Chains A and B, each alone.
Chain A
Amino acid sequence: MSLDIRTKTIILLLVTCTVGIVTNLAVEISAVCFLAMMQLLSGKSVFQYRLLIIYLALVLTQVFLFPILPETLVMVLSLFVVSLRKLFPTAMGFVWIYKTTKVNQLIATLTKMRIPKGAIVSIAVTLRFFPTIFEEWGHIRDAMRIRAIKQKGLHPFRNIIRTMECYCVPLLISATKTADELSAAAITRGIDNPATATCRKYKSMSAVDYGALALTLILTIGAVVA
C-alpha cells in the first residue's frame, strides 16, 4: 500500500494528538498497533518489529511486573519505563513516513502545495542527509577506537569535553563539505531552473488515501469519545 505524503502526515498528526489527549494505556497500545499495521501494509522492509517488541516489553513490564516489584524499585523504574513508552507512537509514525517517502515525490507534492522553495529544499536536504549523519558518526567512532582517543588519566569532565570535540569537529567539517558538494550537484541538475519542476512518480490523493484517512478519523473519534 502506497499512501500520499499528505495522508501520512495527517495520520501521524491524528495519532499523536489522540495519544496526547487521551492518557489511556489501551488507546496508546491501539495507536502503536495501528501504526505497526500501516508499516506492515507499506512493505516488509518498512515494518519495525524491533520497535514493536521493545514497546510491548515496556507495556508488559508496567502492567505485570510493577504490581509485584518492591515499591522503591517501581519508583525508579516507572519514570524510565513510562517516559520511554510515551515516545513510541511518534517514533513509529516517523519511521513509517521516513521509510516510505521518496525525496523526489516529497518535492513534487510540496511544490504542488505551493510551499516556498527554501522550505522545500531545506526539508528535502534534511531527509536525504539524515542517515549520512549516523553513518558519519559510526566512522568517527571507529576512527576514535583505532587511535585510542579516550585518555584514562584525564578528569571525567575533561574527557567528556574532549570526546564531544572529537565527534563535533569532524561532523561539522563533513557537513560543510557535503553542503558544498550537494549544492554543486543540485545546480548541475538544474535546481535553479525557474520552470516548475515535474515528477514522473507524482500521484495525487487516491481512494486508498481517503479510505485510510476516514479509518483513522473514525478510530480517533472513537478513542476520544470512549
Chain B
Amino acid sequence: MKETQKMQSKDFITCGIFSALSLVALMIATVANITPYTSLLYTSLYALLNGTIFLLVCIKVPKSGAILVFSVVPFAFMASRGWENMILAGSIAICALLSELILKKNRNNSTRIAVAYMVYTTYISISGSFGMFVFPDVYCNNAIERGINPTIVEGIRGLLNYGTWAGMIALTALASVGGIALGRSLMKKHLHKAGVA
C-alpha cells in the first residue's frame, strides 16, 4: 500500500511520545539552572540531550508537519509558565516552522537534519535568555529582591553581556550538532539492531 505524505493518527501519537521524552530532556537540563553560572550551560545541555529525540522524529515521521506537531507540547508547556515564557513559546513556533522549511521533504539527509535542529534550538538559546542579557539590570534587581546574595548577583552582572550571549548561542549550536552526531552514533550502534530506525 502506498504511504500517504499527510500526517496520520499514528504519526501524531509518535510525535506526542517523543514530545514527552523531549520534556524530560528539558527537565534534566533545567537542573543546570540551579545556579546562574551553570545556567549559561543549560541551553547547550538541552540541545545535546534532545538531539537524538529530534533525529528519531525526523526519521520515524518523515512527513511535513512532524516538527510542528512535535513542538506543540513544549509550546503549551512554555505558554502556561507565565509572561516571561510567552516569548519562548512564540519562538518555539517560529523555530519549528523554520525547521520544517529547512527539512522540506528530504528528511533523511543528515546535514539538513543537523541544520534544522540547529535552527530549532535557537529558540532556547536566544529567547530563553533574552531577558537576562537584554535587561541585565532588571534581572539582577529581581534576583536581589528574591533574596539572592548581592555579592553573588554582582558577580553574575559581570557575565551578562552580549559577548557571553553570543558565546552561549554558539555553544548551543555546537551542542545541537553534537546532539545529532550522538543520535546518529546511538542509532548505528544500537537502534538499527533493535529495528527501531
Are A80 and B146 touching (Cβ within 8 A)?
A: no
The docked-state distance in angstroms from the alpha carbon of A23 to that of B145 is 6
A79 at the interface (CB under 8 A from B): yes
Q: By CB atoms of chain B within 10 A, which of A25, A80, A123, A192 has the most?
A: A123
Which residues on the A side are within 8 Å of B15 (C-beta)? 118, 122
A179 at the interface (CB under 8 A from B): yes
The docked-state distance in angstroms from the alpha carbon of A186 to that of B190 is 28
Are A75 and B152 touching (Cβ within 8 A)?
A: yes
The docked-state distance in angstroms from the alpha carbon of A173 to that of B143 is 42
Chain B interface residue number, banded: 35 or more
The docked-state distance in angstroms from the alpha carbon of A17 to that of B190 is 44
The docked-state distance in angstroms from the alpha carbon of A175 to that of B47 is 20
The docked-state distance in angstroms from the alpha carbon of A139 to that of B68 is 31
A-B contacts besides A82-B146, A176-B196, 5 pairs, CB < 8 Å: A16-B83, A24-B145, A78-B148, A90-B81, A176-B60
Our pick among A80, A117, A121, A172 for the contact of B34 (Cβ within 8 Å) is: A80
Stretch of A32-40, A126-134, A143-151, A202-210 at the chain-chain interface: A126-134
Hey, which bits of chain B sit against chain A, CB under 8 A?
7-10, 12-21, 23-24, 33-36, 52-53, 56, 60, 65, 68-70, 72-73, 76, 80-84, 142-143, 145-149, 151-152, 186, 190-191, 194, 196-197
Q: Given A13-B82, A118-B7, A172-B196: A23 and B146 within 8 A (CB)?
A: yes
Are A130 and B149 touching (Cβ within 8 A)?
A: no
The docked-state distance in angstroms from the alpha carbon of A66 to that of B149 is 10
How would you classify the secondary structure of chain B's contact residues: helix, strand, loop or mixed? helix
Are A78 and B149 touching (Cβ within 8 A)?
A: yes
Nearest chain B CB to A115's CB is how many angstroms away? 9
A54 at the interface (CB under 8 A from B): no
Q: Which of A151-187 contact B (CB under 8 A)?
A: 165, 168-169, 171-173, 175-176, 178-179, 182-183, 186-187
Nearest chain A CB to B128's CB is how many angstroms away? 15
Are A62 and B147 touching (Cβ within 8 A)?
A: yes
Are A81 and B147 touching (Cβ within 8 A)?
A: yes
Our pick among B13, B76, B149, B191 for the contact of A125 (Cβ within 8 Å) is: B13
A2 at the interface (CB under 8 A from B): no
Are A74 and B23 touching (Cβ within 8 A)?
A: no
Can you list 24 contacts pairing A with B, beta carbon distance less than 8 Å? A20-B82, A25-B146, A25-B147, A75-B151, A78-B149, A80-B35, A81-B147, A82-B146, A118-B69, A121-B9, A121-B12, A122-B15, A122-B16, A168-B52, A169-B190, A169-B191, A169-B194, A173-B190, A173-B194, A173-B196, A176-B196, A183-B9, A183-B10, A183-B14
